[in-house]
Structure 1
């Protein structure tokens, strides 16, 4: 079983919900590239966007992924323990070190007045409940997570949402020579 999906299957992942295109999504998602399978928890980029709306989605996702890569670069620069693979550490300990570095980094940003969002220490987070592997609840959760249809619905909703966001520029990172290939009538 993939360690990435283990918490999702067990419903022990951090609580995350959001509204997109009038739909409430109760779980977060990972931005991934083309090597990942189509799953409800993965949002893959479009390999060949064929209109301006899909191109904007692709560019927005590429920008977000680059921001994540930059964030991990900043963490590596600040916390040297993350620079080198810790082959002597077990997986659980490496995970704890990573979370500790992220939390410390965010605390420093907040202290310097550079936090992106405010922390609400009074926020009530719903408790998580681990399912026994092989139980009916666990298996139904796996079916939901592996749903290809939900992957496409979420990606379509995100594409629509991003299309309506004005601050994403299609020309910031051109992909080949796309000028003149799309008209304003091109839609999903």
Structure 2
């Protein structure tokens, strides 16, 4: 699993940052696809935060597992509302099993092993290179599309899902 992030994040194995200065068509295509996808995710999350106060102002004392459960609950409720309005993003599957986050004691061998994997900068570059190759081979992505700007805070109420 990995997360699409912008330039402020460190190079970690779980983060995929955009290429800051693409010097060929392959990297340019990757940059545009990554930015468009990240923008869509941010738009969806902003819509959820508008509807659910718990996501906009999470309790600082809440454990990661509990925050994950709150997030899943808000997404399910949001989709149920949309489904009720006949505008569902996806169908609800009551048999779907949502994986629980497994916690490890800080300092344990398992914790240190996983931390080492996440902090592997080389893995970050390998993942980005592999995704760049994959995206380059996808035919339906238009390279001539307008570049995506960082539109933080630029969405109106009409953009709410």
**TM-score, structure 2 as length reference:** 0.74
Is 1:92 the counterpart of 2:62? The answer is yes
Equivalent residue runs for 1:46-85 within 5 Å: 46-79=19-52, 81=53, 85=57
Aligned length: 145
Is 1:171 the counterpart of 2:113? The answer is no
Equivalent residue runs for 1:78-157 within 5 Å: 78-79=51-52, 81=53, 85=57, 89-92=59-62, 95=67, 97-123=70-96, 129-157=102-130
Indicate the structure with greater helix content: 2
DSSP 3-state at the match of 1:92 = coil
The Cα RMSD (Å) is 2.8
Give the drift of 1:46.
Answer: 0.3
Moved more, 89-98 or 60-69: 89-98
Give the drift of 1:98.
Answer: 4.2
Distance 1:128 1:82 in 2: 20
Give the drift of 1:131.
Answer: 2.1
8 Å CA contact 1:75, 1:82 repeated in 2: no
Distance 2:86 2:37 in 1: 22
Select the structure of larger CA radius of gyration.
1
Structure 1: gaps (5+ residues) = 1-27, 176-188
Cα separation, partners in 2 of 1:37 and 1:114, compared to 1, 3 Å: same
Equivalent residue runs for 1:15-26 within 5 Å: none
8 Å CA contact 1:131, 1:138 repeated in 2: yes
**TM-score, structure 1 as length reference:** 0.64
